[in-house]
Structure 1
């Protein structure tokens, strides 16, 4: 009789657990958000988590179920609004191209989560991503903050040079914010607006947008891959940079450097023009004439010295 009672209690316990687990798959229903009401939602909430799904498959269902029951972790001092969306226009706006995709939007900046879906890993990431991680560098602050020439005593720096009017840069900025969260405490991640920081553009001889440079221990490595993605950027910082050409970080240009550079650029422009060959002959002749004049002066001084002796 006692054994039967124990078995019945065990069965009852399993039924309770099963009911709870089935109930947890429903949890709270996530509200939908689309491109039509996104602006209103973003204006009313400072911290928004969006689960983007394209097809209703098992992976997407499991992701939604996980966030149906997800509580904000201890230390997360903000109201977290969790939503779901199938709007591909909004997904594109926030940089989501593969699905399901978890996007955390705060301070008008999205960051993507691509780790395992468990409380410990996601909560750690969420706490790391609570504040924007990418730093802003300018002509005036670059050297002071990075200390690039002196050996980067502030650490290594991965820097994105971008333009607001560059379509490709929009996705790169989102990728950089995602990378910055992953590398927090290990590598500094920053961005430079090329339109308002011409000195840095000239200093590093930047000719394309976006441009990415990794500054490490007084040496710089240019990112030369055509595609920019979180996975490739992480690989580049961790090891792949060794396959790039190591360049010495140039000093901040002096006034004399700027003048000489301007002269060189002017001469190059003239020589590449329609009258380049004529100008080349004129410049060449002028140099030869100057050399002859110097030699002539030296020869005239020599006899005078001999007479004086």
Structure 2
């Protein structure tokens, strides 16, 4: 075998060894996602024809993804982590921007994948709190900031965590049409949640021109959310008026009453304490006798 033939075979062998996406296990994936790199992960599973099609697509745009986005591109096969980022499971393509996930939503089109990821290298969803909600949304006035689609979540809601990547997708697709945000209803957004009557997690509201539309569907996919924000909200013929912002004083005065009405144990304790106090007062009153005034002495007969 001459030198030229050896070089050709070496190139072919090297290409064959490098062909296909690098596969990582869950421990390696967690290590990648907690680092500072941008990471694109294709989640696949066994006996999945669509997974094979998606893998071929990602391989075709591998160079674009790694060079233009500076991303690490890997495959996670039969991963236990996929449900955290995509409730619909495999195949699933997720772009992690320093840990913040963006789920690809769309057809098997190479240009669409590259465009979505390239246009959204930074997180899109805005985090709102009590202190800035009205200022940014101008919800009560329906003024100049446009429409808002808001996701109310809480840290104790596992399903909410699984919707973060989905919600980023909603924000990415709709970013030039409206604003997409989220609010922690039990922490930084307690007063805002109370203002809009939000009592569970997750809940979603759409704010448009001083009107409030509630997302009541039980379908939590990018497609369903996007369709609602684009036209589905209009099917609600009687939207609610946006409630006025809760003042600081009314919020302070309502908290003790709400604490009692929402906590049955607190009601029992307070009632028992009041009853005991009344009983003590009555007992004390019964056993306390007033000192008798001395009777006037009879005058001695002269």
> What does 1:277-296 correspond to in 2, within 5 Å?
none
Instruction: Count how many residue pairs are aligned between Structure 1 and Structure 2.
Output: 250
**2:31: which partner in 1?**
40
Q: Is the 8 Å Cα contact of residues 163 and 210 (structure 1) preserved in structure 2? A: yes
Deviation of 1:213 (Å): 0.5
**1:120: which partner in 2?**
111
C-alpha distance in 1 between matches for 2:201 and 2:154: 7
Q: Residue deviations 1:129-167, cap 9 Å, x none?
A: 211110010111111111111214111100011101112
Deviation of 1:214 (Å): 0.3
Q: Is the 8 Å Cα contact of residues 72 and 80 (structure 1) preserved in structure 2? A: no
**2:205: which partner in 1?**
213
C-alpha distance in 1 between matches for 2:18 and 2:61: 9
C-alpha distance in 2 between matches for 1:263 and 1:257: 11
Q: Residue deviations 1:231-251, cap 9 Å, x none?
A: 221121112212334111112
C-alpha distance in 2 between matches for 1:147 and 1:204: 14
Q: Is the 8 Å Cα contact of residues 211 and 239 (structure 2) preserved in structure 1? A: yes
SS of the counterpart of 1:233?
helix
**2:218: which partner in 1?**
226
Unpaired stretches in structure 1, ≥5 consecutive residues: 1-23, 275-309
C-alpha distance in 1 between matches for 2:16 and 2:234: 47
After superposing the two structures, state which structure 1 stretch, 219-228 or 206-215, moved more.
219-228
Deviation of 1:253 (Å): 1.9
C-alpha distance in 2 between matches for 1:59 and 1:227: 22
**2:58: which partner in 1?**
67
> What does 1:89-168 correspond to in 2, within 5 Å?
89-95=80-86, 97-168=88-159
1:254 to 242, 247, 262: 247
Deviation of 1:115 (Å): 1.7
Question: Cα–Cα, structure 1 residues 150 and 77, in superposed 2: closer, same or farther, change >3 Å?
Answer: farther
**1:7: which partner in 2?**
none
Q: Is the 8 Å Cα contact of residues 126 and 182 (structure 2) preserved in structure 1? A: yes
Q: Is the 8 Å Cα contact of residues 152 and 216 (structure 1) preserved in structure 2? A: no
Deviation of 1:171 (Å): 1.9
2:185 to 170, 174, 194: 194
C-alpha distance in 2 between matches for 1:188 and 1:218: 15
SS of the counterpart of 1:89?
coil
C-alpha distance in 2 between matches for 1:250 and 1:36: 47
Q: Is the 8 Å Cα contact of residues 26 and 65 (structure 1) preserved in structure 2? A: no
After superposing the two structures, state which structure 1 stretch, 153-162 or 244-253, moved more.
244-253
SS of the counterpart of 2:102?
strand
Question: Cα–Cα, structure 1 residues 265 and 47, in superposed 2: closer, same or farther, change >3 Å?
Answer: closer
Q: Is the 8 Å Cα contact of residues 45 and 81 (structure 1) preserved in structure 2? A: no
**Could you state the TM-score of these two structures normalised by the residue count of structure 1?**
0.71
Matched, 1:242 2:234: yes
Q: Residue deviations 1:169-206, cap 9 Å, x none?
A: 11222221111111111111000011212111221121
**Could you state the TM-score of these two structures normalised by the residue count of structure 2?**
0.72
C-alpha distance in 2 between matches for 1:96 and 1:110: 13
SS of the counterpart of 1:213?
strand
Deviation of 1:265 (Å): 5.7
C-alpha distance in 1 between matches for 2:114 and 2:185: 35
Unpaired stretches in structure 2, ≥5 consecutive residues: 1-14, 269-302
